[in-house]
Structure 1
Amino acid sequence: MEHQRQITVFQAIAILVSTIIGVGVLPLPLFAVRAADSGAPLVTLIGVLIAFIGLALITMLGMRFPNQSIIQYSEEIIGKWFAWIGSAFIVAFFALLTALAAREFGEVVVTSVLTRTPVEVTVIVMLLLAAISTRNDITTFAYIHYFYTPLLLVPGLLIVALSLKNAEVINLQPIWGNETGGILMGAITITALFQGSFIVTAVIPAMRRPEKAMKASVWGMVIAGGLYVTIVAATVSVFGAEEIKFLLWPTLELAKATSLPANVLERLDAAFLAVWVTAVFTTLLSSYFLTIHLASRLFRLRDHRIFSFFILPVVFIVAMFPQNIIHMYEIIQNVGRIGLVITIAYPGMLLLIAILRRKRGDRVGRKQMD
């Protein structure tokens, strides 16, 4: 175990940030505006706070059992058979999330860039890239995220900052929106975009200092959540809530409407799409890696690599199930909301039972620290 504890706090933060920032960044403002019109930034902030509660629960569990994954310590908490059922649902859910993210990527690419390319080609290429990359160990996985995180954050923040020259503050008023009835459901939809943060269950057992996992979780959520809130606020302030309702991917339209000073680049959508493809890759890498990592633990295998290509056909078939873009987003929103039971309620139940039964795993023992 000692040789596997290579991940630092900064790498853990990078993994969380680059996992959360992914394919959902394009329709994000649309989801928020549908819920509360001009109150979209508030809805997004509430969604971020709910997501952080879920991440905090998972992190506290991981810190109680620093040498085990959720597959292992759930068996100690609620028994082998109940834990097996819960773990199987987790594996299936993240395989489904991987498939839907890959399909969403494919739809964006064939609609915006490669209009003559079949969606099946773009989906299988991205899934193959993720499958090949997941054959590395957790340390290499962390290095990949650590390398790409600045390439995601800097351009994203730059586009938001440059777009503010076209902003109208009146578009953000009232800050709670015109209809408050949809705020909670909208916030839950936004929360579902953060479910990739479940990757922390695989990261904590590999951290050099797992007792600092909460610090990594807080900073990861602050950075990724802060970027999401600013993107929504910038998009609403530039276009207005009513116009956004007619845009399929408002964030992409924001990049199109933004230019560099002195018109060095009149439109930033091409650069933004390049960054977005990277974000999709890191998100898919995490969800795919989490799926095969947890599956290997579930079936008591020593190596996760056996699953890297084994589940690829299944994920691809599921990705091709949605009939069109509208159907795809309906499935994504429904699956995301239902999935909160798996990513927030289930870990919360495990943590409560672990506290009541006074269950706690071995610390990063003295012999490991000596």
Structure 2
Amino acid sequence: MEQTRQITAIQAGAIMGSTVIGVGVLPLPLFAVRAADSAAPLITLIGLLIGSISLSIVIWLGIRFPRKTIIQYSEDLIGKWLAAIGSFAIIGFFAVLTSLAAREFGEVVVTSVLKTTPVEVTVIVMLLLAAIATRNAITTFAYMHYFYFPLLLVPGLLIVVLSLKNAEPINLQPIWFQHPQGVMRGVLMIAALFQGNFIMTMIIPSMIAPRKAIKSGLWGMCIGGGLYVVIVAAAVGVFGAEEIKNLLWPTLELAKATSLPANVLERLDAAFLAVWVTAVFTTLLTSYFLTIYATRQLFRLADHRMLSFFMLPFVFAMAMMPQNIVQMYKIVELVGQIGLCITIGYPALLILISLIRKKRGKPVANQ
């Protein structure tokens, strides 16, 4: 049955942008500096380019099959059973991604703000918010992202611009990496932060004009990814590469070191954390929605709302598995690199098969 097409190109771009700006913004400068020292902004840009290539592949597939999601058209391309394996991999990966994002949120909150609150409480509260929000239709999901996107982008840019007054250009030199052996690992780690772009496989069938998905998706990716690049550049410019290696969440420290003109606010970390909580919510909303929406389509259920609370105990259990922050980030790195095979390799295989077999879906009226 043809889905109701109500999502505009602007809303699709907002979904992409607010999904990209998420929990990973806090440790991002640390990941980049460990890999490339003062060339951290450069490898962040390379990671953004890899994410954009992944997004382009996903959207290309979506445009070839504008009436179906990847769960549905993969069955047409590689058969029901092989497609089921791929679909289970997608569902499992984004369930794990949701759990790790929730755990990282909990660790930041109990470390920085609610120091006597158990981490389990903060994790379950955020997961409950995501579960309740995902009970809505996909059009309401799009409206939520559309509403929150400016609230994420504007304060983030404001903090970066204000922090630049404390930056030293010498800290950003040399701009080219000096030790290539760790660069690829860092690039893959940063590219993994953009894997939320996979949500485009679910929203293209609901877009009014599916062919505009490439423009809106890349615009959203470039805006969100561009914010990542300037945050890394600002953090390296203010603290220097060696100092960042001693910070767990450099972006939070950057907000602490930034003040409004005339000392209206001497530190912006409280305001930044409020914005960051919203960013975490939108990212969790996307990954959790993708998990239950894909599950619904795999098992051909009439509605995805029944799955929102059914999946919650499993996601919460996975979130509590890491013993501490160090182990959590090791798992994040491993899962992110494995996930690239799912979010880049699997769609690339499908697009290759569709070209070889010359298969494409039935176009919609405005295509």
Cα distance in 1, alignment partners of residues 295 and 114 from structure 2: 34
AA paired with 1:133?
A
CA contact (8 A) 1:54 1:344 kept: yes
- Per the alignment, residue 267 of structure 2 pairs with 267
Name structure 1 gaps, 5 residues minimum: none
Deviation at 1:99, TM superposition (A): 0.3
Q: Aligned pair 1:295/2:295, yes or no? A: yes
- Per the alignment, residue 122 of structure 1 pairs with 122
- Per the alignment, residue 192 of structure 2 pairs with 192
Deviation at 1:176, TM superposition (A): 1.2
- Per the alignment, residue 334 of structure 2 pairs with 334
Deviation at 1:182, TM superposition (A): 1.4
AA paired with 1:189?
M
AA paired with 2:227?
L
- Per the alignment, residue 355 of structure 1 pairs with 355
Cα distance in 2, alignment partners of residues 234 and 178 from structure 1: 20
Cα distance in 2, alignment partners of residues 123 and 253 from structure 1: 23
Deviation at 1:282, TM superposition (A): 0.4
| Larger displacement relative to structure 2 (178-187 or 244-253) | 178-187
AA paired with 1:268?
L
Deviation at 1:3, TM superposition (A): 6.4
CA contact (8 A) 1:6 1:207 kept: yes
Q: Aligned pair 1:233/2:252, yes or no? A: no
Can you list the C-alpha shifts for 1:279-309, whole angstroms capped at 9, x where unaligned?
0000000000000000000001121111100
Q: How large is the Cα RMSD of the aligned pairs?
A: 1.0
- Per the alignment, residue 244 of structure 1 pairs with 244
Can you list the C-alpha shifts for 1:115-166, whole angstroms capped at 9, x where unaligned?
0000000000000000000000011000000000000000000000000000
- Per the alignment, residue 214 of structure 1 pairs with 214
- Per the alignment, residue 136 of structure 2 pairs with 136
- Per the alignment, residue 145 of structure 1 pairs with 145
SS of equivalent to 2:152: helix
- Per the alignment, residue 158 of structure 2 pairs with 158
Deviation at 1:225, TM superposition (A): 1.0
AA paired with 1:276?
W
Cα distance in 2, alignment partners of residues 359 and 109 from structure 1: 49
Count of matched residue pairs? 367
Deviation at 1:177, TM superposition (A): 2.7
AA paired with 1:79?
G
AA paired with 1:295?
T
Aligned-pair identity (%): 71
Cα distance in 2, alignment partners of residues 74 and 28 from structure 1: 33
SS of equivalent to 1:68: coil
CA contact (8 A) 1:296 1:304 kept: yes
AA paired with 1:38?
S
AA paired with 1:119?
V
CA contact (8 A) 2:71 2:294 kept: yes
Can you list the C-alpha shifts for 1:304-335, whole angstroms capped at 9, x where unaligned?
11110001000000000000000000000110
The TM-score with structure 2 as length reference comes to 0.99
CA contact (8 A) 2:3 2:205 kept: no
Can you list the C-alpha shifts for 1:224-268, whole angstroms capped at 9, x where unaligned?
111100000000000000000000000000000000000000000
SS of equivalent to 1:266: coil
CA contact (8 A) 2:66 2:364 kept: yes
AA paired with 2:340?
L
- Per the alignment, residue 45 of structure 2 pairs with 45
CA contact (8 A) 2:196 2:286 kept: yes
- Per the alignment, residue 95 of structure 1 pairs with 95
Cα distance in 2, alignment partners of residues 99 and 240 from structure 1: 32
| Larger displacement relative to structure 2 (22-31 or 209-218) | 209-218
Q: Aligned pair 1:316/2:316, yes or no? A: yes
CA contact (8 A) 2:3 2:206 kept: no
SS of equivalent to 2:180: coil
Q: What is the 5 A alignment of 1:104-115?
A: 104-115=104-115
CA contact (8 A) 1:163 1:257 kept: yes
Deviation at 1:172, TM superposition (A): 0.6
CA contact (8 A) 2:202 2:290 kept: yes
CA contact (8 A) 2:2 2:67 kept: no
AA paired with 1:163?
S
- Per the alignment, residue 283 of structure 2 pairs with 283
The TM-score with structure 1 as length reference comes to 0.98
Cα distance in 1, alignment partners of residues 261 and 177 from structure 2: 33
- Per the alignment, residue 27 of structure 1 pairs with 27
Name structure 2 gaps, 5 residues minimum: none
Deviation at 1:217, TM superposition (A): 1.4
CA contact (8 A) 2:27 2:248 kept: yes
- Per the alignment, residue 65 of structure 2 pairs with 65
Can you list the C-alpha shifts for 1:83-137, whole angstroms capped at 9, x where unaligned?
0000000000000000000000000000000000000000000000000000000
CA contact (8 A) 1:38 1:178 kept: no
| Runs of 4+ with deviation above 2 angstroms | none
Cα distance in 1, alignment partners of residues 97 and 4 from structure 2: 27
Cα distance in 2, alignment partners of residues 350 and 218 from structure 1: 21
Q: Aligned pair 1:7/2:23, yes or no? A: no
AA paired with 2:270?
A
SS of equivalent to 2:13: helix
AA paired with 1:264?
V
Alpha-carbon distance change, 119 to 227 in structure 1, aligned in 2, over 3 angstroms: same
Deviation at 1:2, TM superposition (A): 6.0
SS of equivalent to 1:186: helix
